Structure 1
């Protein structure tokens, strides 16, 4: 283990936390440039092993990769400092924006910008799902039966996200279990994990913590796969936000540096102000720290574990379907004609022209502000 000073880790991981716009691809690129290319703290094989291991864990993979890289350089202290400095810049910014967008009487241009950015969110979700399909398709190989199962997992995840909301995690786990069972050697007994569908918490900060805990520990696939679960809780179960406000929260999670999981901080802010936002963030990110700190030495073995790989094939593919399926309830949250025009333009920008997500959301926000001021 290359021993690096905590001050250096705080500075470098904090820098990435400030400039890491663009989601996981940007985070991975910045971490690779820092740890492998420029500083040579890790070799390419170690870094690739880290990516593979964190992709097998629930929660925000790029955040877990940042924590894992820091852990390899300075152990537990490095993981805590690096993860904290990576997360906090985006968290501070998203909470400040949440205070502006969720104010009791925000200026019309703010509401317009929020409506415009929110209109582009379904396109961003579909773009995210489309970008994940090739890797998952290659994982199943050329075997026809495997590809039939892959399509089934994809469809199940899409339906679960579009229709059931709170039961999505059960669908993801079930898809993983099916794939493990298919690959189990003949005559051998396969362990079936028990997943409990616990009732919702009663309300207040306990409910905020419960929602954040599900986001951080039960959202297999990370990123947009958590959106249907959060929308069900924040809008329909507890009534903390309207559908339009939830769209704004997702947009804020995309245009700020850091993982989209930080959207849960906006949900917490809507429920209980600054305390709720901070509590949601702490609870949502705690599992990522725990996974790395307590299981760090064993994470690399996951890549070579047959059951883990089988689970990734099933649950990961269902998660892609869930991301795609989330576009339906998100689109249903739009209410004005000009928002559908913005959505169509965002789809063209992302899927046809293949341009960036952040620019799409910012442009949509500008259009919304101009509409509100006209």
Structure 2
């Protein structure tokens, strides 16, 4: 049994951890979820696998970047609204600063090869973190053949048939509800309050002891949260429309990226084509080549992949916004777009998380969520496969066989050094127990040195 004197985590300590996670949040959603799982579940034991996946289930259902929302959710569980704000802001801030600096450099000088070299090395090391996390999460979430089957079906559906993620979640949830009555032994019972109260994981223990009172649903609180965050979300957009007019580039960026914030179900990949089509073809803010360059920057820098919208908004305002200097307009567009892209994340979590926590001990819903958890493992595996393909190979071609779509690497485009660095990083972390920071630094340094030596910088 765990020690009843398990120490609480101060807000200062949590802030340092969230800052570390934000700085190391490379690799898109798969890498970011893996990073949080390693830090919060495996290393610090702040939250159990079951509750980590329970929170991830909800975040996967929401529009917007799921990893950012997961950070906000866990920060909120631990330290109320302040914890959620700190976790979410620090998760986004390093990527925001990096993309802004690179956007400025891009506008002034064009592509910056040495920066891409450093981040390419980091991605190779993060691939090892992703592989490790998928294995660990899978072992703990897939406890019987039923859960393994659900995860496998989810992977096949999303990887080969491109079934939308919301439909996969709906199907898994309905299967869990039905299976609870037909095959009850295949679906675990919810943990009792007594079991949580003696847990080795801090958040689970505090919840079991009834000490996290802010997680209880309240209708008046829900109304206050909704009104406050709608004002926070839309206030800057209305201010820009008042100052520059509703047809200005900045106003259009605020409106357009607010719209995309509520339709990005299933992560950034599901909406990138739509963003590219509108930004390039409809608004003419940037060229197709600039869109590809922005995507490359967002894929290799820390933070959510949806940060590509910040690069798009910077260039759009830099080149086309009247009434400000080009640099001032670009920075304004970058800040406004980041604001409207992530403010909804806080609204979804602060509004919905108390109700998700309250539903956790309902047996039927727990069975549905258990099936959804298994499906999420399959989806995370799909993200991991995508990340691995695009890290190790420069070219990936999609083949279609009727309804089946298969992404196959172009073997001649293999990044031998990236593959070797990923393998060495996996050995260093799993066998040698080398710290993640040293592994990431070493991988980035080797990639930079190689590209400098080969004349690619």
TM-score range, shorter chain: 0.5 to 0.7
1:103 to 96, 101, 107: 107
Cα offsets for 1:20-50 (capped at 9, x unmatched): 354523344445699x56xxxx5x44x8624
Aligned residue for 2:56? Answer: 54
Matched, 1:156 2:156: no
Long gaps (5+) in structure 2: 1-6, 182-246, 318-329, 398-409, 427-438
Cα offsets for 1:224-271 (capped at 9, x unmatched): 666555555555665545565445434544554444443332232233
1:270 to 315, 331, 335: 315
Q: Secondary structure at the match of 2:92?
A: helix
Matched, 1:90 2:95: yes
User: Hey, what's the Cα distance between the residues in 1 that align with 2:298 and 2:93?
Assistant: 13
RMSD: 5.1
User: Hey, what's the Cα distance between the residues in 1 that align with 2:41 and 2:367?
Assistant: 27
Matched, 1:75 2:84: no
Q: Secondary structure at the match of 1:174?
A: helix
Q: For the structure 1 residues 105 and 318, does the alpha-carbon distance in structure 2 shift closer, same or farther, using more than 3 Å as the test?
A: same
Matched, 1:142 2:203: no
Check conservation: 2:116, 2:297, Cα contact below 8 A.
no
Cα offsets for 1:77-135 (capped at 9, x unmatched): 443344334432431232112211x21443xxx54346767988998998898677655
Check conservation: 1:219, 1:226, Cα contact below 8 A.
yes
Matched, 1:283 2:340: yes
Check conservation: 2:155, 2:381, Cα contact below 8 A.
no
Matched, 1:331 2:395: yes
Aligned residue for 2:113? Answer: 112
Check conservation: 1:342, 1:364, Cα contact below 8 A.
no
Aligned residue for 2:351? Answer: 294
Long gaps (5+) in structure 1: 158-169, 189-201, 334-338
Deviation at 1:350, TM superposition (A): 5.7
Deviation at 1:294, TM superposition (A): 1.5
Q: For the structure 1 residues 68 and 96, does the alpha-carbon distance in structure 2 shift closer, same or farther, using more than 3 Å as the test?
A: same
Q: For the structure 1 residues 131 and 276, does the alpha-carbon distance in structure 2 shift closer, same or farther, using more than 3 Å as the test?
A: farther
Aligned residue for 1:348? Answer: 419
User: Hey, what's the Cα distance between the residues in 1 that align with 2:18 and 2:359?
Assistant: 29
1:26 to 13, 35, 52: 35
Check conservation: 1:60, 1:261, Cα contact below 8 A.
yes
2:171 to 163, 167, 178: 178
Cα offsets for 1:198-226 (capped at 9, x unmatched): xxxx9944654466446644445547666
User: Hey, what's the Cα distance between the residues in 2 that align with 1:52 and 1:71?
Assistant: 14
User: Hey, what's the Cα distance between the residues in 2 that align with 1:256 and 1:287?
Assistant: 22
Q: For the structure 1 residues 246 and 60, does the alpha-carbon distance in structure 2 shift closer, same or farther, using more than 3 Å as the test?
A: same
Deviation at 1:282, TM superposition (A): 1.5
Q: For the structure 1 residues 250 and 181, does the alpha-carbon distance in structure 2 shift closer, same or farther, using more than 3 Å as the test?
A: same
Q: For the structure 1 residues 373 and 124, does the alpha-carbon distance in structure 2 shift closer, same or farther, using more than 3 Å as the test?
A: closer
Q: For the structure 1 residues 362 and 211, does the alpha-carbon distance in structure 2 shift closer, same or farther, using more than 3 Å as the test?
A: farther
Q: Secondary structure at the match of 2:415?
A: helix
User: Hey, what's the Cα distance between the residues in 1 that align with 2:288 and 2:138?
Assistant: 31
Check conservation: 1:50, 1:300, Cα contact below 8 A.
no
Deviation at 1:179, TM superposition (A): 3.2
Check conservation: 2:253, 2:333, Cα contact below 8 A.
yes
Check conservation: 2:55, 2:73, Cα contact below 8 A.
no
Deviation at 1:53, TM superposition (A): 0.9
User: Hey, what's the Cα distance between the residues in 1 that align with 2:443 and 2:272?
Assistant: 19
Q: For the structure 1 residues 267 and 124, does the alpha-carbon distance in structure 2 shift closer, same or farther, using more than 3 Å as the test?
A: farther
Q: Secondary structure at the match of 2:107?
A: coil
